[in-house]
Amino acid sequence: MFETSLNVVNHGVITVRIEPNTLHGRDVAGQPGLYLPLKLQLLPVESQAGGEFPYTLVRLTGELQAPPLNEFAVFDLGPMALVPNPKPFFRHQETTVLLDRHRVRRFEDLRAGNDPHFQISFSALLWYQKKQEFAVELAGPLFVQLPKSHWIENILSVWNLSDIRLIEAKFPGNAGPNFRASYDRVREAEKLFADGQYKQTLTSLRLSLEGLAKSFGFDSPGEQLFGALFAPCHPDKIKNGGQALQGLYRFLHLGPHAPALQGALELTITRQDARFALTMAYAVLEYLAPGV
C-alpha cells in the first residue's frame, strides 16, 4: 500500500492511497492505458475559531514521473464535488492513464528488467465555502513500486506490445503448425526480455529457429531451410539468404554459451544484444512465413 496526503489550510486531511496489486493494463482503442484505482479519504478541518472549516474537492490531477524521464503521463479527475466526512472511510476514485508506445519503450529501457517504480505528484483544486475562493494544494509524491511479475503479466501483456514493440512485424495465424510453434518461442523470448533475462532470450530465439528447421527435416536453420521455403528463387538468393539465416543462428548461440571467459574478457549478454536478437527474429520469421 502506498499513500500521500494533501493539505487543507495546513492540515493534512486528504489522503490518497493506492494498492499496488490493483494496477492493471488496459487497451484503449489500441493505446496503452494504465488503470489506477485510487482511494481518497477526506476528513474535516477544525477552524481556529471553533467549528469546522468546510471545503470541497473540485478537481484532482496527477503526473506520473520516473526520473530521468521526468513526466511521462498525466491524468485529471474532475470535475467532482467531494466533501469531508467525520467518519473515516476511503472512497474509490478510479482513472485510466493513457500512454503511448514510445513512452512505454523508454520506461521499459529505464526499468531494464527490474521491478518498475515511478512516482505520482498530485495537485488538488479546492473550494473554501466560508472564504468563497478556490485554492490549489500540492501533495508530496506518492511512490509506487510493483513486482515485475505483476507488471509483466497484468500490464505489459494486456497492452499487447510484443507484436510491434521493436518493429512492426505481422505474425500470421494461418502459417501452419511449424511456424506457430516458432512464434510461441518468440513470445516466450519477449517475456524473458521483459523480465531482464537476456541470455535466456537468445536461447529461446535459437530454439525457435532450430525447431522450425527440424520441423522441415533439417538439423539447423541455413541454406537448406531457406531453399525449401524459397525453392523457385534464384540460387544466389537462396545461398545468401541461407547464410544470413545461419549467421543469425550462430549469434543466438551466444545465449547458452554465456557467461564464458576468453582470456580477460567475459562474454555477457546485454539488453541491447537481446533487443537486436528479437528484432532480427521478428523480421526473419515474418520473411520466411508463407502468405505474409
pLDDT one-digit tens code per residue, 126-150: 999 989 999 999 888 899 999 999 9
Query: Could you give the CA distance from residue 3 to residue 6 in angstroms, rounded to a whole number?
Result: 10
Q: Closest Cα to residue 278, out of 215, 193, 158?
A: 193
Q: Give the C-alpha separation, 252 to 268, whole Å.
A: 13
Domain boundary among 147, 165, 185: 147
- 163 occurs within a structural domain: no
User: Do both 214 and 132 map to the same domain?
Assistant: no
Same-domain pairing of 136 and 35: yes
Say yes or no: 136 and 47 in one domain.
yes
In whole angstroms, what is the distance from residue 286 CA to residue 246 CA? 16
Tell me, yes or no, whether 140 and 204 share the same domain. no
What pLDDT, in 10s, does the model give residues 246-277?
A: 999 999 988 766 555 555 566 788 989 999 99
Q: Which amino acid is at 204?
A: S
Distance, CA of 91 to chain centre: 28
Range of the domain at 102: 2-147
Whether the per-residue pLDDT at 36 is higher than 70: the answer is: yes
**How many of the other CB atoms lie within 10 Å of CB of 138?**
11
Residue 162 lies in a domain: no
**Residues 102 and 195 grouped into a single domain:** no
Residues 15, 121 share a domain: yes
Residue 142 shares a structural domain with residue 181: no
Quote the number of domains for the chain. Answer: 2
Q: Are 190 and 133 within one domain?
A: no
What's the rounded Cα separation, in Å, for the pair 84 and 44? 5
In tens, the pLDDT along 58-86 reads 999 999 998 877 788 899 997 999 999 98
Domain end residue (candidates: 128, 147, 166)? 147
pTM more than 0.75: no
Amino acid at position 267, single letter: L
**What angle do the packed helices 235-252 and 271-288 form, to 10 degrees?**
150
Residues 137 and 184 in one domain: no
The reply to whether 16 and 121 lie within a common domain is yes
